[in-house]
Amino acid sequence: MIRFAGNRNLIGIASLCLGVFVFSTQDAIIKAVSSDYAVTQAIVTRSIVAFPILLLFIHWEGGLRLILSPRFWALSFRGLILLVAYTSYYLAFPALPLAEAIVLFFTAPFLVTFLAVPILGERIRLKAIVALIVGFAGVLVILRPGFGFFEPAALLSLLSAVTYALAMLFARKLGVYEPASVMAFYQNAVYLLGAALMALTFHLVGWTTAEHPSLAFLVRPWTWPDAKGLIMMGACGVIAAVAMSLLTHAYRMADAGLVTVFEYTGMIWGPLWGFLFFAEVPPVTTLLGMLLIMAAGLIVLLRPRLPDQPAAMTAGEKAPDPRA
């Protein structure tokens, strides 16, 4: 049973729930612009807007000198993994209902546990194996293989979950030395440079059209946005920076193993925005799969800590959301 240990945990939980809510609005915006603009253009615009805000956060945390980190290459490599994670995450939006794309991404928390075994040498327990089985069942319920309903873009959401889980394992090592604002700064820089290079490559090779909506979102040429499009894409930078601040505050105020459970409030907002803004009604199979995936994550996150395992290395630990 979760026990609240004073106001710090309550403030941490409130900050995390608010941060997850703020981040969820970004997903709805990206889906809204996916029919008119390229994903690379949205990422670059968002990254440009986020830069000065992140610099301000770094200044507050210890000064701009923190940017000159001796772990430059490790931070940049983590940023590259996250570029893959969130590009694939966003590419699923044009082809999938928002609820389905987001729910499949939430396989990441229990994937972190299993990838931690070969990468960090952590031990795995029976509950984690049960979580994998339950979570995999949830994925199968959503994908419905063999029933003629499978959409290949669902694999993009699963790819984003795997690469996100890998990035979180890097964060658990880098977070010992680097503040969250510096990690967010580097990943934001990689987002900007990587997305710009992808767009330039597609332009140079002449690949500018595709039939599948996800591929079209990836290779579509950049166009000068109208006022509405510019505001929406720019707002993502503000959203990301504000949400990152809230999530960072949450994990500093409260026990990570406690607040991480509330990450699953993100599953509420995806179906809601899909219904309100895109007239999407998730099928029963998606809702059932959501419950199974949530159950799998909770099995992992609420498992007791190993006696010889330090608090900073529990499966419940999680760095601030890389969507920042």
DSSP 67: G
pTM for the model: 0.81
The confidence score (pLDDT) of residue 126 equals 76
- In the chain, which residue ranges form alpha helices assigned H by DSSP? 7-33, 39-61, 72-91, 98-105, 108-120, 126-143, 154-174, 180-205, 213-219, 227-253, 256-259, 266-278, 284-301
DSSP 305: P
Q: Where are the domains of the chain?
A: 7-313
- Distance between first and last Cα of the chain: 31
What the block records as the tokens of 57 is: 């956060």
| b/e 39-58 (16+ beta carbons within 10 angstroms → b) | bbbbbbbbbebbbebbeebb
Per-residue pLDDT of the chain (324 residues; tens, 9 = 90+): 444 455 777 888 888 889 889 989 999 999 999 999 999 999 999 999 999 988 998 898 888 999 998 989 999 998 999 899 989 999 999 998 898 888 888 887 767 767 777 776 667 677 777 877 888 888 888 877 655 566 788 899 989 988 988 887 777 677 667 887 888 889 899 999 999 999 999 999 999 999 999 999 999 999 999 999 999 999 998 998 888 778 767 766 766 656 767 778 888 898 899 999 999 988 888 889 888 888 887 776 665 544 444 443 343 344 445 455
> How far lies 132's CA from each of 7, 141, 159, 203, 316, in Å?
34, 14, 16, 41, 15
The dihedral region occupied by 6, where left means phi > 0, alpha psi between -120 and 50, and beta the remainder, is left
The confidence score (pLDDT) of residue 234 equals 93
Backbone angles phi, psi at 195, to 5 degrees: -65, -40
Backbone angles phi, psi at 137, to 5 degrees: -60, -40
The confidence score (pLDDT) of residue 302 equals 65
